[in-house]
Amino acid sequence: MGSKFAKAVEIAARQHGRVTWQQLVVEGVDRHAIQRWIGDGRLHPVHHGVYAVGHAGRSLFGDYMAAVLACGVGSVLSHWAAAHLLRVIPGRPPPPEVTVPTLGGRRRGGIVIHRVATLHVADTFAFERIRVVTVPRVLLELAPKLAPHLLARACHEASIRHRVGPPQIEACIARNPTKPGAARLRRAAGADVTLSHLEDGFLTLLRRHRLALPRTNVVHGGDMVDCRWPQVGLTVELLGYRFHASRAAFEADVARRRRSNHVAFTYGDVFERGAQTIAELRRRGVGPPMSAAEAGGVGEFAAQSEA
């Protein structure tokens, strides 16, 4: 029987320490042996028919793998859990969510189950050996639930981490024409995005003083920049103090940047010295918002400049 348990360990090593009852049976392990291994601590039940092998320690990958295994063939991690695993949304790990390509089947404690009639093969893949929905599919699943700016951030992370852009999103929408949220996802995928409280505060300051808003987190000169006004050739970086060894070094770096047309502002510039910041932006050519006709012309210019 030792050799059979070694096989169970081998299977679990490919599945983040988890093995199913069916997999053990295929290897010739009967129910009496399974009960004996549970009794002596070699197996630890996680879900019905799914066991942790060798120890009861939990891990994110192990929990998500166990949930997918528990839901059967064709099941995939999806929704909030998939978005967290794929790192397109921040925050604490959510409970396992699994999409099951069947309208029947039993409930599973501790698992949020979504049942669908069909799940296209192009909308699933293996990530860290866990079957999961693809990045475009998870964006489509969350589109009706995320606020527009958070959905735009998720699309930005999808682009940076997984090279997922409008073509991949459009292909997913075409495969899933009845799912809600397609229009919201299209808008978010083409929108500029803010990635921090400092960036949000800077745009709020500009709106309060009725200045033209910049492009945000766009590529300019081969670099990703925080803010860019292509119509006046101005780039602004928003710098957090934590990236510098001391406040003196931090302020000196900001001062050096301001001597060029690549401007940097700090938290204090945005939240404590807003009037001076606005005055400097006006001095560098950032004026009031443009009319609709002017905005159309700048939009064409911006698209050429940022390409």
Backbone angles phi, psi at 294, to 5 degrees: -65, -40
- Residue for token digits 């049976």? 25
Distance, C-alpha 219 to centroid of its chain: 20
Grouping H, G, I as helix, E, B as strand and the rest as coil, residue 182 is helix
Per-residue model confidence (pLDDT) at position 255:
59
* Mean pLDDT, all residues of the chain: 88
Half-sphere exposure in the Cβ direction for 169 (13 Å, CA): 27
Grouping H, G, I as helix, E, B as strand and the rest as coil, residue 247 is helix
Domain spans, the chain:
2-57, 62-189, 197-306
Sign of CA dihedral 285, 291, 295, 301: negative
CA 180 – CA 3 distance, rounded (Å): 51
List, for residues 45-102, the tens digit of each pLDDT value.
999 999 999 988 899 999 999 999 999 999 999 999 999 999 999 999 999 999 998 8
- Per the CB < 8 A criterion, the answer to whether 170 and 108 are in contact is no
Sign of CA dihedral 274, 275, 281, 286: positive
Domain at 197-306, CATH homologous superfamily: VSR Endonuclease (3.40.960.10)
Q: Which fold has domain 2-57?
A: Arc Repressor Mutant, subunit A (1.10.10)
> Can you read off the two tokens belonging to residue 204?
């709020």
Listed as ranges, residues in the chain with pLDDT below 50 are: 1, 244, 260, 294-307
Per-residue model confidence (pLDDT) at position 299:
39
- Per the CB < 8 A criterion, the answer to whether 110 and 47 are in contact is yes
Mind giving me the DSSP string for 144-175?
TTS-HHHHHHHHHHHHHHH---HHHHHHHHHH
